[in-house]
Structure 1
Amino acid sequence: MIIDAVVPGTLEISPDQRRRKVLWTLLTLLLLALAAWAFSYGLDYISAEQTTRHAKEAEDSVDREGSAFTSSIREDKDAIPSAYILDQPLTLAEKKKFLLKGNSGSLDSKDLEKIVASHKGRGLEMPGLPESDGYTTTWLMDFFSDRTAGLAITALRAKELKCSPAAAKTVILVRLEGGGAYDGMHFNLSRPETPIALAPGPYMGKPYFSHKKIDLGNGATPGGLYAEVSSGIEDCRFAFEAEYRDAEGVYRQEIRNGKSEFEVRGIPANPEQIFVVTLESATDCGGRPWRKIAECPPLPFQKGRYTIY
């Protein structure tokens, strides 16, 4: 009775036929059940895969929103100046006091800094490469990225470059004892597209990004960079533009000094006054027309010919 209810028509046939019919019916039901389960599992799998893919695409899209990296910029305050430029010339009384103190061996860096500050001036450093346009200003740059995906800065260039003849009136050149090179890059604004490597070794003097990159994102350690910039006998303003690469392609991002442009001061080709300071003496190189004095540099200053060494 029960078998006939599950498999109708089994009571009218022989026991062998009944067993075969019941067996085939049960097998058919089992296969149908398996097919239904497989169909349901397949739908769930496809749906889960699509959901995961969409979630990953949404996550990647959010990850790529906004800036690829941020930068922290500061001028290198520990750099030792090799030249000072003043926007206001020394008066006769100031010049006399300055030379008297310098030739007595009592002139020190604090005295120079006081003079510079009172005459709206600033210090410039000796470049790390002889191929420089002139004295330099140096920035320390730190790069940070909270992106999950990795990226690499592969180029850095100066853009929006605006230059004019150096406005300083007075130049004080300082003879330093010794010096050293730094692991970083030098920007000669005559060639703003190609920063040059400063690190001692086989790549010194070669394009920095020909052998290096700055890796960011994906948990990478924040990247740091020492960048010195020379503008020769001009005052220049500019912004940096970084080129970076990730799995999607090549992109560019602007870097500014806070909200402002970067500013580099040069030494004037024909300053109104020029002095040379050593540990033992201070020399007045005179005014125009220039006197030929052994301690003084040849004038006018030119790009690439600026040093007293």
Structure 2
Amino acid sequence: MIVALLGWFFTYGLDYISVEQTTRRTKEVEESVDREGDPFTPSIREDREAIHFAYILDKPLSLAEKKEFLLKEDSDGITKAVAELVASHKGQGLEMPGLPESDGYTNTWIMDFFSDRAAGLTITALRAKKLNCTPAAAKAVLLIHPEGGGAYDGMHFDLSKPEVPVSLAPGPGMGKPYFSRKKIDLGNGATPGGLYAEVSSGIDDCEFIFEAEYRDAKGVYTREIENGQEKFKVRGIPANPGQVFAVTLEKVVDCGSRPWRKIEDCPPLPFRRGRYTLYK
């Protein structure tokens, strides 16, 4: 009887150990498969609802175009003329930064992060890497006098300090390192993470990629993020643009040519790195 009972316990123990080992191995295989491939998938898009407060043109205005532009005196005519010049002169709009202490006007992107991993992970940093900058190449600049605006709850990248994005959220954390107070949780059924990122390059044109740092139960890793199949591109305003126009709702002002003259409605020139406020 005792021998039979010992035999049963021995067989049961072997079965239990075998099941435990099989379960543990199955779990390890599942976790390994779960970690194969990309940890998350970014979806990148430009902010189509952005309001532009500056336009840079890659072709200068001719004398005839300049004369016609300066004759505009009503908001509808001015708005139409700006749109036509942007379209015909390879123009691009720039946005007012959501952070007062900015290195220049901004380009913005909205990023959504998706992960189908069963295990959770957390994005804890985002940095601009593989940065390449050259002096801004725009030939003409149209500056739109601001009529109001507000900050976004997102992050601001000053490419003179590409590894430390700061928060745009109103409150005591504004202007402080974004990831010192926030993180983006993904995987394990978490809601996809979203992020608004504005980037300023001052008086340069820059190209770069983002590098995300993320953590899971196994360690800390990085993942490169491109804008589709290419680098992100940010345009700046030249320190000494060939043409500068100040645009209000009532008029267009030619801010002159070098040496710069002090003209009402025009910004102090030349532009300097680290100062985007053009009318103070």
- Offset from partner CA, 1:8-30 (integer Å, 9 cap, x none): xxxxxxxxxxxxxxxxxxxxxx2
1:107 aligned partner: 77
What CA distance in whole angstroms lies between the structure 1 residues aligned with 2:151 and 2:240?
29
Paired residues, what number?
A: 279
After TM superposition, give the deviation of residue 106 of structure 1 in Å.
3.2
Q: Tell me if 1:61 matches 2:32.
A: yes
What CA distance in whole angstroms lies between the structure 2 residues aligned with 1:175 and 1:197?
25
What CA distance in whole angstroms lies between the structure 1 residues aligned with 2:75 and 2:93?
21
Given residue 92 of structure 1, which amino acid in structure 2 is its aligned partner?
A: L
What CA distance in whole angstroms lies between the structure 2 residues aligned with 1:80 and 1:110?
15
What CA distance in whole angstroms lies between the structure 2 residues aligned with 1:306 and 1:131?
8
Preserved CA contact (<8 Å) 2:78 2:251: no
What CA distance in whole angstroms lies between the structure 1 residues aligned with 2:75 and 2:120?
56
Gaps of 5+ in 2: none
Match of 2:211 among 238, 241, 248: 241
1:175 aligned partner: 145
After TM superposition, give the deviation of residue 110 of structure 1 in Å.
4.3
SS in 2 for 1:36: helix
1:49 aligned partner: 20
Rg (Cα) greater in structure: 1
Q: Tell me if 1:82 matches 2:53.
A: yes
Runs of 4+ residues over 6 Å off in structure 1: none
After TM superposition, give the deviation of residue 67 of structure 1 in Å.
1.2
1:293 aligned partner: 263
Q: Tell me if 1:191 matches 2:161.
A: yes
SS in 1 for 2:134: strand
Asked which structure has the greater RCO (Cα within 8 Å, sep 6+), the reply is 2
TM-score with structure 1 setting the length: 0.88
Q: CA RMSD in A?
A: 1.1
After TM superposition, give the deviation of residue 307 of structure 1 in Å.
2.5
- Offset from partner CA, 1:23-76 (integer Å, 9 cap, x none): xxxxxxx21221121111111111111000110000010111111111000011
2:226 aligned partner: 256
Match of 1:163 among 133, 152, 163: 133
Preserved CA contact (<8 Å) 2:102 2:276: no
Larger helix proportion, structure 1 or 2?
1
Match of 2:100 among 106, 130, 149: 130
After TM superposition, give the deviation of residue 192 of structure 1 in Å.
0.3
What CA distance in whole angstroms lies between the structure 2 residues aligned with 1:216 and 1:106?
46
After TM superposition, give the deviation of residue 261 of structure 1 in Å.
0.3
Deviates more, 1:225-234 or 1:174-183: 174-183
SS in 2 for 1:74: strand
Given residue 18 of structure 2, which amino acid in structure 1 is its aligned partner?
A: S
- Offset from partner CA, 1:69-101 (integer Å, 9 cap, x none): 110000111100010000000111111121112
- Offset from partner CA, 1:202-245 (integer Å, 9 cap, x none): 10110000100000000000000000000000000000000011
Given residue 93 of structure 1, which amino acid in structure 2 is its aligned partner?
A: A
Given residue 123 of structure 1, which amino acid in structure 2 is its aligned partner?
A: G
Given residue 263 of structure 2, which amino acid in structure 1 is its aligned partner?
A: I
Q: Tell me if 1:70 matches 2:41.
A: yes
2:186 aligned partner: 216
TM-score with structure 2 setting the length: 0.97
Given residue 294 of structure 1, which amino acid in structure 2 is its aligned partner?
A: E
What CA distance in whole angstroms lies between the structure 2 residues aligned with 1:111 and 1:68?
47
